């Protein structure tokens, strides 16, 4: 379902070209639970951003559900981000002026989901992440762990098959981090495809497949028990 073929990302910095990623060739099937590890600067975020259609590769092919999204227009990519993948950031990236409820609702507004259905879904998602009682709180009134759970709920809004998370626990204490991972395991059990970046070997051990990056290339890629 996810297929990267010789994907690379280069940055032109004056006369030097920085090779941030690749070439990377990789296939991830539906329902997989993948942890991406690697030292700082190894290209993890770069790869995740390309997978999440937040960024476009310099070279290579990206097939998402057999559709070549690497050539998509900005408008089409917006639609992919809206419907097909949910992205969870290290720094949450919630709208500060909107309530938890409204933040979760946002992707559905863009998908033009009816009001009734939105309400039903938001309530359901807040329940899943255990924050039904925080619906009317703004991000500033929530703890880090709670913010990240709202962000996960938002990622699930349009019921995408794929959830991508770039160091979702990076800004959290270990207890909150464990809660997020719990959520992920639950989503994995529900059949979602999960890919998350972490520096924490312990958290990575919960995943079924480990991909280790080094200098923008896949160094190790293996499945564990």
Partner 1 sequence: MHFLLSYLYEFRHQKLRMFLTIMAVSWGMANIALMLSVGEGLYQMMSRGMTGMGEGIVVMWPNQTSMTHNGFGPGKPVRVTEQDIHEGEKLPLVKAISAEYSGWSVQMKTADKNISKQVRGVYPCYGVMRNLIPERGGRFLNTLDEERRRRVIFIGNEIRNTLFGEESNPVGKTIWVNGSPFTVIGVMEKKFQTSMYSGSDAQASFIPASTFRTLFNRTYVNIVLLAPESKENSKDAQEAFRSLIAARHRFHPDDKELFHNWDTFETQEMQDKIFRGLQLFLGIIGGLTLLIAGLGVANIMYVTVKERTREIGIKMAVGAHPLLIIMQFLLEALFTVSIGGALGVAMSMGLMALFDLVPLPETFINVMGRPEPVFSGLIALVCVTILNFVGLMAGIFPARRASLVDPVDALRYE
- Binding footprint of Mg ion on the chain (CB under 5 A): 45
CB-based contacts of 41, cutoff 8 Å, min separation 6:
none
Q: Which of partner 1, ligand ATP, Mg ion, none does residue 41 bind (CB under 5 to 8 Å by kind)?
A: ligand ATP
Longest dimension (CA), the chain: 54
User: Does 87 engage in binding with partner 1 (CB under 8 A)?
Assistant: yes
156: left (phi over 0), alpha (psi -120 to 50) or beta: alpha
Distance CA 131, CA 193 (A): 23
To partner 1, the closest distance from the beta carbon of 224 in angstroms equals: 30
Per partner kind, with CB cut-offs from 5 to 8 A, the member of partner 1, ligand ATP, Mg ion, none near residue 40 is ligand ATP
Residues in 172-211 that interact with ligand ATP by CB under 6 A? none
Tokens of 144: 């880090």
Sheet of 193-197, strands arranged across: 85-88, 162-166, 193-197, 33-37, 209-214, 217-223
Pick from 24, 44, 125, 218: which binds ligand ATP (CB under 6 A)?
44
Measured distance CA(110)–CA(119) in Å, rounded: 14
Among 94, 100, 183, 211, binds partner 1 (CB under 8 A): 94
Q: Which of 20, 34, 162, 207 binds ligand ATP (CB under 6 A)?
A: 20
Q: Which of residues 51-80 bind partner 1 (CB under 8 A)?
A: 52, 54-56, 74-75, 78-79
Question: Rounded CA gap, 36 and 158, in Å?
Answer: 24
85-88/162-166 β-pairing: parallel
Among 24, 34, 37, 45, binds ligand ATP (CB under 6 A): 45
Residues that bind ligand ATP (CB under 6 A): 11, 13, 18, 20, 38, 40-46
Residues that bind partner 1 (CB under 8 A): 49, 52, 54-56, 74-75, 78-79, 81-83, 87, 89, 93-98, 102, 106-107, 109-111, 154, 157-158
């Amino acid at each position: 379902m996810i297929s990267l073929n010789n994907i690379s990302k280069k940055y032109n910095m004056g006369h030097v070209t920085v090779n941030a990623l690749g070439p990377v060739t990789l296939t991830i099937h539906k329902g997989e639970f993948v942890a991406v590890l690697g030292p700082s600067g190894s290209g993890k975020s770069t790869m995740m951003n390309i997978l999440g259609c937040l960024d476009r590769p310099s070279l290579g092919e990206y097939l998402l559900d057999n559709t070549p999204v690497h050539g998509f227009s900005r408008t089409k990519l917006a639609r992919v981000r809206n419907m097909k993948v949910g992205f969870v950031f290290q720094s949450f990236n919630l709208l500060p002026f909107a309530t938890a409820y409204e933040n979760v609702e946002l992707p559905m507004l863009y998908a033009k989901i009816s009001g009734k259905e939105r309400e039903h879904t938001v309530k359901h998602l807040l329940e899943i992440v255990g924050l039904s009682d925080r619906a009317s709180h703004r991000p500033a009134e929530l703890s880090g762990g709670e913010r990240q759970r709202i962000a996960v709920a938002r990622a699930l809004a349009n019921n995408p098959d794929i959830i991508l998370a770039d160091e979702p626990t990076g800004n959290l204490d270990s207890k909150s981090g464990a809660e997020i991972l719990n959520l992920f395991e639950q989503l994995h059990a529900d059949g979602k495809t999960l890919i998350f970046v972490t520096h924490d070997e312990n958290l990575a051990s919960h995943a079924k497949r480990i991909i280790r990056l080094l200098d923008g290339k896949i160094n190790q890629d293996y499945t564990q028990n």
